Copies of this chain bind each other. A is one copy, B any other.
């Protein structure tokens, strides 16, 4: 199986390459990048230097996609909308997009967070690939929109609540590591400022709220209000730690709440205690915990933002779409401590 990764010089691109190199069904990986063309993968992504001497090729999508069985698009927001159509129209490759372009089907909701969509028709051809929830329903899809990192954690916390009567939509507090901000140095990731710090950001308007709202509506009903996501920057590199709070009645334990939804999920593990973020790092597993009190539910989620929240989930979705074992290439044990 031949796989191309387009826009492969970012942190997510690096994790895609690392995981695809070790995927048992992948025989060839091409990595295309505008900024890194000609450089060795290992120069840009030091982790893979031990495995390959391959070099980045130019970001010529038509050329890269030709002959590929799967094309991952790992580009800045908006670029996929301009580039994806020819691949979809002229090749038989499965396209997995990791940007926000095709995550939101409701164009009004999209507009509210991102502005006018440049190619609305394209949106309808993509399927939102929340792999643990969609599972085998992704089989045969040819265009997948991989969820955002916060959205993945949020959706996994929300899903078990869909059938519970809540007074208000849940609120979700989430903290992300600095790798979520990408490879370009900026003030918010300047080490003297980021180390030992915490800070809320995108208050009352994080873009991932769009896909979260759409998901919640799909599960809890068209009149369900919008969950509120409160995002924070934390002083660590990897991972998202999320705590959900909801007011509603559930008669049973936290595990009773989660088990029906997650017991058969290969990559969701229900924990007995609130999960330590580091226990999820390096794996494609979401750790989920719930605590229940009269009239109140809390759910805790820990994920690796670059694996479960990006590259790992995208590969899991690929596996599901192509009918491969769901965990092919994803039997990752996290190094600990990390």
Whether B333 contacts A51 by the Cβ 8 Å rule is yes
Whether A191 contacts B237 by the Cβ 8 Å rule is yes
Whether B338 contacts A237 by the Cβ 8 Å rule is yes
Q: Mark A202-245, 1 if CB is under 8 A from B, else 0.
A: 01100000000000000000000000101010111111010101
Whether A200 touches B243, Cβ cut-off 8 Å, given contacts A11-B337, A49-B269, A279-B49, is yes
Whether A195 contacts B198 by the Cβ 8 Å rule is no
Whether B50 contacts A333 by the Cβ 8 Å rule is yes
In the complex, whether A175 has a CB less than 8 A from a CB of chain B is yes
Q: Mark A54-78, 1 if CB is under 8 A from B, else 0.
A: 0000000000000000000000000
One of B11, B237, B331, B333 near A195 (C-beta < 8 A)? B237
User: For window 248-300 of chain A, which residues contact chain B by CB distance below 8 Å?
Assistant: 269, 274-279, 281-285, 289, 291, 293, 296, 298, 300
CA distance A24 to B66 in the complex (A): 34
Whether A50 contacts B332 by the Cβ 8 Å rule is yes
Whether B199 contacts A241 by the Cβ 8 Å rule is yes
One of B51, B181, B228 near A296 (C-beta < 8 A)? B228
Whether B21 contacts A198 by the Cβ 8 Å rule is no
Query: In chain B, what residue has the closest Cβ to A274?
Result: B200
In the complex, whether A80 has a CB less than 8 A from a CB of chain B is no
CA distance A14 to B228 in the complex (A): 38
Q: Mark A95-120, 1 if CB is under 8 A from B, else 0.
A: 00000000000000000000000000
**Residues of chain B within 8 A of A277, CB atoms compared:** 196-199
One of B167, B171, B191, B333 near A191 (C-beta < 8 A)? B191
CA distance A40 to B277 in the complex (A): 19
Segment among A29-37, A148-156, A182-190 that sits at the interface with chain B: A182-190
Of the A-B pairs whose beta carbons lie under 8 Å apart in the complex, a sample of 28, sorted by A's number, is A18-B333, A18-B336, A47-B282, A47-B333, A49-B285, A173-B173, A175-B234, A178-B191, A184-B190, A185-B189, A185-B190, A189-B191, A190-B191, A195-B237, A195-B337, A198-B234, A198-B239, A199-B276, A199-B277, A200-B241, A200-B274, A203-B274, A203-B291, A203-B300, A204-B293, A230-B298, A245-B245, A282-B282
